[in-house]
Amino acid sequence: MAHATVFAPVPPTARSSPLSARVVAALCVLAAVFAATFVLAPGPLASSTSGASLANRDTLDNAAKTAFVGYWNSGSRTFTPDMARVVDYWRQYHVVKAIAAALLLLVAIMLTVRLWRALLGAGARDTRTRFGLAAGWTLATLLTVGSVLLVMANVQGSIAPLSSAITLLPFHTSETGLSTALAQIRTDLTGYSHAGAHHPPIVARMVDDFATYHAVIAVLTAIVLLVVLAMSVALWKRFRAIGKTGTSDDRRTRRLLAALGTMLAVTGLATLLVCVANTGTTADPAPALLALFQGGW
C-alpha cells in the first residue's frame, strides 16, 4: 500500500511541476525486471540453493507425489530424505519469490506515490493529461495491491512449506499408493481433535503446519489493516483541511480524496474479513485441511 505521505499537502510550486517522464520510465523498467525475476528466477535459484533439481514442473509434481507416499508409509513425523528434499526446495522457491515480490512492491509504491502527487497537482492541465495520470495511478495502485498479495502468499509458503507443498498433490488420482494415502488422511481428518483420540504423527504434523500456514496470513493481514487505517486517518485529515469552499482545484482534490477514501474503506473491510477468517482457521485448522484434501480448496 502507498505510504501515508502521499496525502501530505501539495505545495503551490508542486502544482505546476511536471512529472519526470524519465523517473517514471525507470520505475516501469524496474517493475518489469522484478516481475520477470518473480516468474523466471525462483526455480533455478531454488534448485541451486537446495541442491534439488526440481525447477521443471513435471519433475517437481512427480517428486512430490513419490516423496509424499514414501513419507506417509514411513509413519514417522520426521521427513524422509525425499520429502525433506521437496519441502526444502519449495521453501527456497517461495523465499526467492517473496524477495522478488518485495522489490516489485517497493517500486510499485514509489510509482504510485509519484503519480498520485502529479494527479493532485494536475488542476491546470488539460483533460487528456489528467486522464492519463489517473489511468497511470490506477494501474500503479493495482500493481501495488497485487504485489502485497504476492509478498504475503510467498512469505506464507516459505514459513509453512509443508502445507504449501501439499497443494502440489493431485487430490483426485487413480495412482494406488497416493490414492490410498489420501483416503486414509481424509478419514483421520474427519472429526479430528487435538484433545481426541490418537492420530498418526504425520497427520498431526500436517495439522500443526496448516495452523501456522494460516497464522502467517492472519498476522500479515493485520499489519496491512493497520497500514490501511493509518492511510485513512491521514487522508481524512487532508480532506477536512481543504474545506468545502475553495478553488476549483481544491474541490477537485476533495473529490479525488473522497474516491480514494472509498477504495481504502473497501480494502480495509476485505482485509479485516481475511484476517478474521484466517484467525479462525488457525484456531481449528483440521476442517480446512480436510477440505483441501477433498479437493475443495
Q: Are 53 and 60 in contact (CB under 8 A)?
A: no
Is residue 187 predicted with pLDDT exceeding 70? yes
SS (H, E, C) 218-247: HHHHHHHHHHHHHHHHHHHHHHHHHCCCCC
Which segment of 20-24, 208-212, 218-222 scores lowest on mean pLDDT?
20-24
Cα 250 to chain centroid, rounded? 36
SS3 41: coil
Helix, strand, coil proportions of the chain in percent (round to 5)?
80, 0, 20
Residue with cell 477468517: 277
* Containing structural domain, residue 59: 4-293
Q: Indicate if the pLDDT at residue 17 is higher than 50.
A: no
Backbone angles phi, psi at 182, to 5 degrees: -65, -40
* Region 219-234 average pLDDT: 94
Any idea how long the chain is?
A: 297
pLDDT digit string (tens) for 238-260?
888 876 666 776 777 888 888 88
Residue 265: C-alpha distances to residues 98, 105, 149, 227 (Å): 27, 21, 18, 12
User: Which pLDDT score is estimated for 41?
Assistant: 95
- Tens-place pLDDT, residues 122-168: 665 677 888 888 899 999 999 999 999 999 999 999 999 999 999 99
Q: Which amino acid is at 57?
A: R
Q: Residue 196: helix, strand or coil by DSSP?
A: coil
Q: Does 210 score more than 70 pLDDT?
A: yes
pLDDT score for 194: 60
Cβ atoms within 10 Å, residue 41:
16
Average pLDDT, the chain: 87
Q: Highest mean pLDDT range out of 95-104, 227-236, 244-253?
A: 95-104
Q: Kindly indicate the confidence band of residue 7, based on its pLDDT and cuts at 50, 70 and 90.
A: very low
* 173, containing H or E segment: none
- Measured distance CA(250)–CA(256) in Å, rounded: 10
Lowest mean pLDDT among 170-179, 192-201, 272-281: 192-201
Which of 85, 15, 21 has its CA nearest to residue 54?
A: 85
Number of domains in the chain: 1
- Average pLDDT, stretch 226-241? 87
